[in-house]
Amino acid sequence: MNRRQFVAGSGVALAVGMTRGEAVAASAEKNVRGAWIRTVEKTAGPVLTALSQRRLKLQMPVECKPGQEESRRQCTYLEALGRTLCGIAPWLESGGDAGRYPELAREAIAAGVDPASPDYLNFGTTAQSLVDAAFLALGILRAPVELNQKLPAKVKEQLITALEKTRVQKAGMNNWLLFAATVEAAIAVLGGKWLKAPVELALTRHREWYLGDGVYGDGPHFHADYYDSFVIHPFLLAVLESPVGEVDKDLELTEVELQRAMRYAAIQERMIGRDGTWPVVGRSIAYRCGAFHLLAEMARRQHLPQHVSPAQVRGALTAAMNVSLGARGSYDAKGWLTIGLAGHQPGLGEPYISTGSLYLCLEAFLPLGLTDRAPFWSDVAEDWTAKKAWAGVDMPADHAVDG
């Protein structure tokens, strides 16, 4: 829809006080949401369609480091499902413009947890399956109706059993502790019997590993990467808010984690340059715009920090999506993601990266869970911090936050 068409057909909007310029602006913001949805459908569609038809293992390629093909086939399909649903779950739950995707997601889960399915996924057979199951678990927590209540009873039972199988894998003393805790949280909300010990360990260690200014160590040490966003803050928030969060009896983390996450979201917003790029630092850079998982999550929660408006986050995330997923070569000829940050750059993939891993980029799309009337979508476009600063716009200075 172009501007002339929108204004000509918007008599009701103009009648209630919208100027012609405001009507055009409203059309532009609606088109941004539409562009996000088209990208989600382009990216998630092949994964969910193939798995719902029980043909994912036949159709999805396994791109990875040479020599890693066999090991990656053991985990890449569960990676694709878990990371896809983790990112689009709020959109599925919103009941708005997700169309057939909620049903498609349930069919995909059913195909992945049915032992008789040719696409039965490997839960618990490798250490990586703990990671991948946790992303699926977080998706379930984010869509309590569409990916829990509406699951058929048999599928729910099979899903609980599948998640329980990951308990044989021991989590390392790093962000992986949150994977084990998140699996237990999903088992709890699905109606299974959850284990207390993995949750207690994850929360205890992350209390110890907080370094200040919204940053946790990945283990006892600081790592210059995006794992505070990829994993730590989003998973920690979800665990604390789930039934298993009751183990935080003294509320040491519950009372401070939201503020810490808001501070890190402020840092993330400032990381996005005026052209949508961001520092290419640390491992897992091939997750593309998924580097802003936490910023997208705080926007979805409508808990953005002071001086960071929903509209500027919308603009920043859109720019980050465009420079990464919009780059030539980011998808192969059949529509599957390729390894890279901006296009096809296989050298950026670590030995643990394969095709399924790449769908973590969809975590940047979490604000689709907000209705189109929410300020994130309805507010007039606004430049983000980097664009304002480098255009000479005056603004408040940034400061570290303790606690």
Fold classification of 35-390 is Glycosyltransferase (1.50.10)
For 123-172, what is each residue's pLDDT tens digit?
Answer: 999 999 999 999 999 999 999 999 999 999 999 999 999 999 999 999 99
Tokens of 219: 């283990």
Distances (CA, A) of 365 to 113, 291, 390: 26, 11, 26
pLDDT bracket for residue 355 (50, 70, 90): very high
Its sign, for the CA torsion 46, 52, 57, 63, is positive
216 bridge partner residues: 210
Please state the pTM of the whole predicted model.
0.92
Q: How far apart are CA 47 and CA 163, in angstroms?
A: 20
Beta bridge partners of 215: 212
Distance of CA 52 to the CA centre of its chain: 21
Average pLDDT value for residue range 218-236: 96
Domain boundaries, the chain: 35-390
Helix H or strand E segment including 218: none
Alpha helices in 53-127 (DSSP H): 56-59, 69-73, 76-93, 101-113
Q: Where does the pLDDT of residue 96 fall: very low under 50, low under 70, confident under 90, or very high at 90 and above?
A: confident
What pLDDT, on the 0 to 100 scale, is given for residue 182?
Answer: 98
- What does the alpha-carbon distance between residue 63 and residue 187 come to, in Å, rounded to a whole number? 31
- Render pLDDT for 284-337 as a digit per residue (tens, 0 to 9): 999 999 999 999 999 999 999 999 999 999 999 999 999 999 999 999 999 999
Decide: 104 and 50 in contact? Cβ < 8 Å. no
In terms of Cα–Cα distance, which of 248, 262, 241, 222 is closest to 403? 262
Label residue 282 by pLDDT band (50, 70, 90): very high
Task: Count the neighbouring beta carbons within 10 Å of the beta carbon of residue 272.
Answer: 27
Q: How many CB atoms lie within 10 A of CB 399?
A: 8
Q: Is the model's pLDDT at 207 over the cut of 60?
A: yes
Strand partners, 171: none
- pLDDT given for residue 4 in this prediction: 28
3-state secondary structure of 174: coil
- Please tell me the predicted confidence (pLDDT) of residue 238: 98
Contact between 52 and 109 (Cβ < 8 Å): no
Q: What's the rounded Cα separation, in Å, for the pair 338 and 58?
A: 17
Measure Cα distances from 95 to 143, 362, 372 in Å: 11, 19, 12
Q: Is the pLDDT of residue 340 over 90?
A: yes
**18 band by pLDDT with thresholds 50, 70 and 90:** very low
Report d(CA 86, CA 293) in Å as an integer. 10
Q: What is the pLDDT of residue 403?
A: 65
Give the DSSP H or E segment for 215.
strand 215-216
pLDDT band at 246 (very low <50, low <70, confident <90, very high): very high
